[in-house]
Amino acid sequence: MAKLKTVFLCSECGFDSPKWVGRCPGCNAWNTMEEEKISTAGKVSASCKAAKPQLLKEFTGPGEHRKTTGIGELDRVLGGGVVDGSLVLVGGDPGIGKSTLLLSAASQFSRRNGDVLYVSGEESAVQTGLRARRTGALEDQLWIMAETNLEWILVEALKMKPAMLVIDSIQAVYCPAIPGAAGSISQVRESTGRLLRLAKDHGIPVMIVGHVTKDGSIAGPRLLEHMVDTVLYFEGERNYAFRVLRPIKNRFGSIAESGIFSMENDGLVEVLNPSQFLLAERSQNVSGAAITACLEGIRPLLIEIQALVSTTCFGLPRRATAGFDANRLGLLLAVLEKRQGMMLGNQDVYVNAVGGFKLVEPAADLAVMLAVSSSFKNRPVPGDLVVMGEVGLTGEIRSVPHVLQRVREVSNLGFSKVLVPWGNLAELKKASLNVELIGVKTLSQALEVGLH
Ligand code: TYD
Ligand code: MG
């Protein structure tokens, strides 16, 4: 009978230590060690045969075998479809739509490739069935199993040999042989290890859902990230329909791709033209709004930035942002005061990126400044103009990366003018674009052109 012993495991990298330490010796993270009980029984190795060195050039075969999931945006982030025997982790906040996405992927996949086993450890079969009916995900070869014991799940998976296995979620399943509650680090590590073996030994692609918690008290997908082939994060504001699926790691494709969805009443819908979606409710000829072209991975997106500048009533002026870094806004406002003489010290400033989208690129600086100036001066930005550029502390406009992709999107969406950094002009002039290019070197020039 195996005895239990107490160890401390790091929730970031899985390093184990016999005593508690403040800093993990494995990954140097602070306060990540958690107490767990593990069995002292020796580990069983997966295979008793040792591998032999072989020449690498003998392994240049036709490459990995991929199957389409039937959801274009998901295929795109996976690098062109699901690779046989791959282990994919889909992480994200609770309630963001992970189960909805994987259920619909499972259903589409089963229509094309045969049996798919969807294991739901959190919802009952009836709940999943109702959701499937509501979102149109009922298929003849889609199987549901409401089970949390991984032993039983693996027995059924080996019997069925499905074309794909979905585990929703890894924090809900447990191995009875391992002590500790479901979701503890040792359980997550062992369960993932077993699923990895199933995927590699039988070539079954396995998709697992992993929850992200703010305080990291559940064994976070951080530890899982090292074990799996592909990590996708599903992100978005819960109160908005817009969702982005981003690859964080992909052993079989690029991580510059992104998948864009909208959460509707009847499930997740792929958004094929995100810029149009984001600009749908834009009002023209009002002050305090500017449109910029951002990159989501390598995809250009046109986003409206709104600003409201109003006189402060009490004491300190407020600066509040949604979808834009508040510190960056502080910096941009200081540049406007110093270089343009705009007295914003007694004004509240609110900035919002429309659609629940988060702007992280400095290329959005110019649009934020234009929207703020437009609201402050009560002069609208022309409705057919898109602006982009990073603004430096001296008020200079710096060039932006991948400008051609951005301007192509501007021209595809029918805008007639685009304000770009002077430094990008030469590259753009070489391409034939159906849009008027206005190059600017300084903030003053940009404000002159950008405000009616
Ligand atoms: P869910 O996929 O259960 O999230 P997760 O698995 O990431 O926790 O879905 C979360 C939310 O999505 C749910 O609160 C309601 C909403 N939703 C819709 O708006 N429309 C739908 O068709 C479905 C299925 C869910
Ligand atoms: Mg769920």
End-of-domain residue from the set 240, 272, 304? 272
Q: Which amino acid is at 134?
A: R
Cβ burial 173-190 (10 Å sphere, 16+ → b, else e): bbbeebbbebbbbbbbbb
- Whether 248 has a pLDDT exceeding 60, the answer reads yes
CA distance 127 to 111: 21
Q: pLDDT for 249-270, tens place per residue?
A: 999 988 888 899 999 988 899 9
* In a shared domain, residues 297 and 348: yes
Does some domain include residue 49?
A: no
- Whether 44 has a pLDDT exceeding 50, the answer reads no
* In a shared domain, residues 94 and 218: yes
98 in ligand 1 pocket by Cβ < 6 Å?
Answer: yes
Looking at residues 402-426, what average pLDDT do you find?
93
Q: Residues with beta carbon < 5 A to ion ligand 2?
A: 99
Q: How far is CA 44 from the centre of its chain?
A: 36
Domain count of the fold of the chain: 3
Ligand 1 center to residue 289 CA distance, Å? 32
pTM: 0.81
* In a shared domain, residues 260 and 142: yes
Q: Which two tokens stand for residue 18?
A: 């016999």
Does some domain include residue 48?
A: no
Confidence (pLDDT) at 207: 96
Ligand 1 center to residue 95 CA distance, Å? 6
* In a shared domain, residues 171 and 203: yes
Q: pLDDT for 167-198, tens place per residue?
A: 998 999 999 988 888 888 888 889 999 999 99
Which atom in ligand 1 lies closest to the alpha carbon of residue 169?
6
- Whether 364 has a pLDDT exceeding 70, the answer reads yes
Q: What CATH number did the domain enclosing 340 receive?
A: 3.30.230.10
Task: Give the closest residue (by CA) to ligand 1 atom 22.
Answer: 267
Closest CA to 141 of 111, 166, 170: 111
* In a shared domain, residues 222 and 81: yes
Share of the chain above pLDDT 70, in %: 94
* In a shared domain, residues 235 and 304: no
* In a shared domain, residues 286 and 241: no
120 in ligand 1 pocket by Cβ < 6 Å?
Answer: no
Q: What CATH number did the domain enclosing 266 receive?
A: 3.40.50.300
Ligand 2 center to residue 126 CA distance, Å? 14
Whether 362 and 324 have beta carbons less than 8 Å apart is answered as no
Does some domain include residue 45?
A: no
CA distance 73 to 91: 16
- Whether 2 has a pLDDT exceeding 90, the answer reads no
* In a shared domain, residues 295 and 443: yes
Does some domain include residue 55?
A: no
* In a shared domain, residues 105 and 251: yes
96 in ligand 1 pocket by Cβ < 6 Å?
Answer: yes
450 in ligand 1 pocket by Cβ < 6 Å?
Answer: no
End-of-domain residue from the set 272, 289, 311? 272
Does some domain include residue 53?
A: no
Does some domain include residue 61?
A: no
- Whether 13 has a pLDDT exceeding 80, the answer reads no
Ligand 2 center to residue 223 CA distance, Å? 20
* In a shared domain, residues 289 and 399: yes
Q: To test ligand 1's pocket by mutation, which of 263, 266, 268, 269 has the most ligand atoms within 8 angstroms of CB? A: 263
Looking at residues 410-416, what average pLDDT do you find?
90
CA distances from 200 to 40, 159, 168 (A): 27, 16, 20
Ligand 2 center to residue 325 CA distance, Å? 30
| Confidence label for 214 from pLDDT (cuts 50, 70 and 90) | low
Confidence (pLDDT) at 432: 83
Q: pLDDT for 238-247, tens place per residue?
A: 788 889 898 9
End-of-domain residue from the set 219, 242, 272? 272
CA distance 272 to 102: 19
Does some domain include residue 46?
A: no
- Whether 388 has a pLDDT exceeding 50, the answer reads yes
Confidence (pLDDT) at 216: 42
Give the other-Cβ count within 10 Å of 152's Cβ: 14
Q: pLDDT for 332-360, tens place per residue?
A: 999 999 999 999 999 999 999 988 888 98
* In a shared domain, residues 77 and 93: yes
Does some domain include residue 60?
A: no
SS3 143: strand
CA distance 191 to 178: 10
* In a shared domain, residues 35 and 88: no
Q: Which of 160-174, 222-236, 390-404, 418-432 has the lowest mean pLDDT?
A: 222-236
92 in ligand 1 pocket by Cβ < 6 Å?
Answer: yes
Which residue segment(s) compose the domain that 18 sits in?
A: 4-39
